[in-house]
Amino acid sequence: MMPYVKAFNNVDHIRAFLSSRNLLDELLSIEMEMGNFLEAAGIAQRKGDVLLEVNILEKAESFVNATHLLLLYVTANSLWSPHSRGWPPESFEKKEQLLTKVKEMAKKVSEDFFCLACFEADLLSDSHRSLASLTCSLLEGRKCGNMLVELISARYIIDVHLQSQTSRYNLELEPVSDQLCYNMMACDQMSLETLSCIWNQWKLILVKVLAHLNPSEDIKSNDSAAVCEDLCAKLFGLRKDSDNRYVVLNVDSGWLTNTGRSSLEQDGNRCWLHTVHCQSCARTFMVNELSSVGLSVLRKLESIIETSREIASSPYAQWRSIVILYEIAMFLKEFCLANSLRKTVNFCEQKFFELLFRAWGDETAECFSDILDSSPAYGLIVDSVGSYTMAGNQNLTHGHLGRIAMFLLYTAKYGDMLNLTLEQYLNRDAEWAQFFQSLKSFLDTGVGRCSLVQTFKVALEFTTNVKWWIEKDYMSPICYMNLMECLGFFAMSCFMVNGCALCTKSLLVKMLKCRTSKAFLGNCLVSGLGDQDMDLDCMTFSPGVFICQSIRSILTNKHAIQEWIREIAPAIRYVPVLLRLVIMLYLLTLTLQLGDCYEVTDFLAKHRIFEDLPPDFSKKIVPTLKFRNGTVAHFTRVFGDALAAIGDTMVILGLPKGPLISSGLKAYRFSYTDLSDISKVMALLCPEEQKFSMQKDTKAWNDTCGNLSIARIQDNEMVSRIETHLSDESITFWEKFESFQVFMHDQVS
């Protein structure tokens, strides 16, 4: 038949005749004989013979097209061999020969084109590549706009990090820029920062492509769309056949879903897939890839952090590791099931509190603040509220509300995210809801102290009137005392403007480290006597009376206190709680002149409180029972001696004169002027704190602050109990936060 066909006097007639009968081999032969190589290449494409098409394009000296096509063929067969999941690139017969041919053809185009082709070919090669060479490939791929080179290089670099031993990581590296990370990797070095950097680079490429594949997204840039389409075509082995369909080079590709395979249209050796199905399959694959690789990165980070506890001495360096871990976990929430990330979030919570313990024990406020102020720390807080409520708890309990209040008061961080979360689960008119709103207003604007104190008092009054033994989760004694002390300090700060206030060294240190109380004190000092917001009845006497009455009510039954501790917070010790109740009762009674301090002593004696308090304290106070008509100044001096006996010196705030002041009083004295410089006050109260720096070894957690023991967990049994508590996944974030309060406020002595 061929002699008959060749006798046609017009080549178009020959093509029409053979094409109509699908005689492509015969048509190809004729085109080759006639030297019509481009037409012959088109026929090879219709046949689905890629390597033949490459050879013909080479004959036609269409080296650019031939190079691109051969690279596409090698990529498809490297990533998508039968049963392959797309990574890592695999070897196949004659692969290296084909890559050599890629370079030979590219060299005939230009030096620049040759370099670009070499980057892609070398990445697909089976030869070993170092971290440094992979980093070079990634940067060159970015420089020349080859997203496939960027993607494959980044994926290889992630693998190098995942497969390396912890000993190869630099664990003390401070936060650095991406450029410094690339410089490190170019020197064949790695750290948690470089792993984070390369993960971000890789996932940003996938996120960019996913945005392009999402039909709901508006494509703002045609150039960006073209780059994403080009990457998908190269990555998945696709050739665009028309505006709405692609030719799939390897129909056994793992990226094709079952729906995608069932939608394939076949014509001889070629299979087409509609653009919509291509995008759907690609989207599914990339989401799964993000999830799979992301979880692998998380597991690696957890392993490094866990095994490097003794290597990384700085709490800040370890916190930076947790930040990296947490940020990746939060990103993956969109792509992974919540259960697969729960372990990581629990791990972050555990390490968060472990590092707070270390940072506080160091007495390095800067390190401690850096941890608390970070976005991931705040994210943990917000997520914990959401997790608590999603666990089937429709209402926030008194215990939960108290812990949230303590966190907000201490950190003074009350953003819109947490506010919106709380609003979902609190009636707007509820006592605690109104306090939270007043607190947010004060933190945002610096005004509204009267409203803050009043709503704080009402919220605590509401909780105080609840029977703790019938509540599912009542406020613990440590949390209750923290809040009571904070409210009491607010009252004393207001009163100090008109006179003097009594405090203790331990309480003042805690309040100056608590950011809200520190801000409240500063606000009172700045406002002065003429402040319209200074309603003394609302801001001092009303909360003072409430606190004193509440404490007296609690102290009438010390066995109930023991039961409260045993049932709600067994880690807390009874005597320190009792001592704090007694000290606060005395401080407010003396400062605000709310009663007879000798009568208070008689009340405590009748309820046998002194026999449970530290002997050094009790033996100073009890003898005053003989002086029924003693002066306030005399009792204040005795009270100061009792505080000094237990290492907690009295502090006088405000005016240096008054009925409370007498000669021989053992106390620090701070005037308005002194209190305007908090750093100097803290330096005087805590001279040892000045000796510490964030870079020092933090393995010893028993540092002291002046005469006041801020944190002591010296006995191994207590350390073990706390570590077990923190690592228990059944214990909520907020329960761990409460354990930190116990530690922070010297309740585990």
Q: Which residue has the tokens 């700085």?
A: 314
**The predicted structure's pLDDT at residue 528:** 60
In single-letter form, the type of residue at position 57 comes to L
Rank 348-352, 404-408, 420-424, 552-556 by mean pLDDT and report only the highest: 552-556
H-helix or E-strand spanning residue 699: none
Distance CA 547, CA 465 (A): 13
Q: Is the pLDDT of residue 403 over 70?
A: yes
Torsion angle in degrees (nearest 10) through CA of 82, 88, 92, 96: 160
Collapsing DSSP to helix, strand or coil, 667 comes out as strand
Question: If pLDDT is split at 50, 70 and 90, which confidence band does 393 have?
Answer: low
Report how far residue 2's alpha carbon sits from residue 631's, in angstroms, rounded to the nearest whole number: 129
Residue 685: is its pLDDT beyond 80?
A: yes
Closest by alpha carbon to 481, among 572, 390, 581, 560?
A: 581
Cβ contacts of residue 659 below 8 Å, gap of 6+?
632, 633
Q: How would you write 30-87 as a 3-class SS string?
A: HHHHCCCHHHHHHHHHHHCCHHHHHHHHHHCCCHHHHHHHHHHHHHHHHHCCCCCCCC
pLDDT digit string, tens, across residues 175-226 = 678 999 999 999 999 999 999 999 999 999 999 999 999 866 555 556 788 8
DSSP per residue, 125-189: SSS---HHHHHHHHHHHHHHT-HHHHHHHHHHHHHHHHHS-GGGEETTPPP--HHHHHHHHHTT-
Residues 447-488 have pLDDT tens digits of: 899 999 999 999 999 999 998 888 888 888 988 999 999 999
Residue 390 scores a pLDDT above 60: no
CA 183 to CA 131: how far, in whole Å?
11
Phi and psi (nearest 5°) for 325? -60, -45
* H/E run at residue 243: none
Query: Can you tell me the mean pLDDT for 40-49?
Result: 93
Would you place residue 701 in the very low, low, confident or very high pLDDT band (cuts 50, 70, 90)? very low
User: What is the pLDDT, as a whole number, of residue 451?
Assistant: 94
Predicted confidence at residue 143, as pLDDT, reads 92
Q: What angle do CA 440, 441, 444 make, to 5 degrees?
A: 80
What is the overall mean pLDDT for the chain?
A: 84
Residue ranges with strand state E in 607-678:
650-654, 667-670
Average pLDDT estimate for 702-715? 32
Q: In this structure, are residues 66 and 106 in contact, taking their beta carbons and an 8 Å threshold?
A: no
Pick from 151, 167, 147: nearest CA to 159: 151
124 sits in which H/E element: helix 111-124
Q: Report the distance separating Cα 174 and Cα 185, nearest Å.
A: 16
CA atoms within 13 A on the CB side of 644: 14
pLDDT at 692: 42
Residues 6+ apart with CB under 8 A from 221: none
Give the sign of the dihedral formed by CA 15, CA 19, CA 24, CA 25.
negative
In the sheet that 650-654 helps form, which strands lie side by side, from edge to edge?
500-504, 650-654, 667-670
> Between the ranges 249-263, 393-407, 705-719, where is the mean pLDDT highest?
249-263
Q: Angle at the Cα of 516 (from 510 to 519), degrees rounded to 5?
A: 100
At 363 the pLDDT is 46
Residues 246-268, mean pLDDT to the nearest whole number = 90
* Proportion of the chain in helix, strand, coil states, percent, rounded to 5: 65, 5, 30
Residue type, 109: V
Maximum average pLDDT range among 30-34, 404-408, 613-617: 613-617
Q: What is the pLDDT of residues 139-154, one digit of tens each?
A: 999 999 999 999 999 9
- Report pLDDT for 81: 85
Least-confidence region, from 72-86, 215-229, 541-555, 714-728: 714-728
Whether 698 and 361 have beta carbons less than 8 Å apart is answered as yes
**Least confident piece of the model among 28-42, 106-120, 194-208, 731-745:** 731-745
Q: Which of 503, 690, 465 is nearest to 580 (CA)?
A: 503
Please report where in the chains the tokens 């306030």 appear, as a residue: 632
pLDDT of residue 580: 95
Q: For the residues 312-321, what does the mean pLDDT come to?
A: 72
Q: What backbone phi and psi angles, to 5 degrees, belong to 654?
A: 100, -140
Taking the C-alpha atoms of 309, 314, 317 and 318 in order, what is their torsion angle to the nearest 10 degrees? 30
Section 262-291 average pLDDT: 93
Q: Any bridge partners for residue 614, and if so which?
A: none
Confidence category of residue 699, pLDDT binned at 50, 70, 90? very low
pLDDT one-digit tens code per residue, 325-346: 999 998 998 888 777 888 888 8
* Per-position b or e across 198-229, b if 16+ CB within 10 A of its CB: bbbbbbebbbebbebbeeeeeeeeeeeeebbb
Single out the residue of 397, 384, 383, 454 nearest to residue 425, CA to CA: 397
Question: Which residue bears the tokens 């005395």?
Answer: 586
pLDDT value at residue 607: 96
Instruction: Report the sign of the C-alpha dihedral through residues 466, 468, 472, 478, in that order.
Output: positive
What's the pLDDT score for residue 317? 75
Task: Determine contact, residues 168/252, Cβ cutoff 8 Å.
Answer: no
pLDDT tens-digit series, residues 718-741: 455 555 555 565 666 666 666 666
Task: Using pLDDT thresholds of 50, 70 and 90, give the confidence band for residue 742.
Answer: low
Q: Which residues contact 534 (CB under 8 A, 6 or more apart)?
A: 449, 450, 494, 497, 524, 527
Q: Which amino acid is at 59?
A: K
Residue (of 540, 455, 497) closest to 653 by Cα position:
497
Q: Which tokens hold the place of 625?
A: 């029972």
What φ, ψ does residue 509 adopt, rounded to 5°? -60, -45
The model's pTM: 0.74
pLDDT of residue 726: 57
Residue 670 parent element (H or E): strand 667-670
Domain boundaries, the chain: 128-336, 338-424+699-749, 438-678
What are the pLDDT digits (tens) for 426-437? 888 899 999 999
With cut-offs at 50, 70 and 90, classify the pLDDT of residue 9. low
CA distance 71 to 458: 73
Q: Closest Cα partner for 481 from 567, 412, 575? A: 575
More confident residue, 377 or 500: 500
Using one digit for the tens of pLDDT, what is the confidence trace for 520-532? 999 888 876 545 4
Task: Decide if 281 contacts 255 (C-beta within 8 A).
Answer: yes
> What is the three-class DSSP state of 671?
coil
- SS3 of 90-106: CCCCCHHHHHHHHHHHH
What is the CB-side half-sphere exposure of residue 207 using CA atoms within 13 A? 11
> What Å distances lie between residue 429 and 426, 437, 455, CA to CA?
8, 10, 11
Residue 702 has a pLDDT of 29
Q: Would you say residue 36 has pLDDT above 80?
A: yes
DSSP code for 396:
-
Which of these, 272, 328, 318, 323, lies nearest to 295 by C-alpha position?
A: 328
Which one-letter amino acid corresponds to residue 172?
E
- Whether the CB-CB separation of 367 and 696 falls below 8 Å is answered with no
Cβ neighbours of residue 364 under 8 Å, at least 6 residues apart? 689, 692, 693, 694, 696
The number of beta carbons lying within 10 Å of the beta carbon of residue 162 is 15
Return the minimum-mean-pLDDT range out of 11-20, 86-95, 219-228.
219-228
| Type of residue numbered 613 | L
Greatest extent of the chain over all pairs of C-alpha atoms, in Å:
137
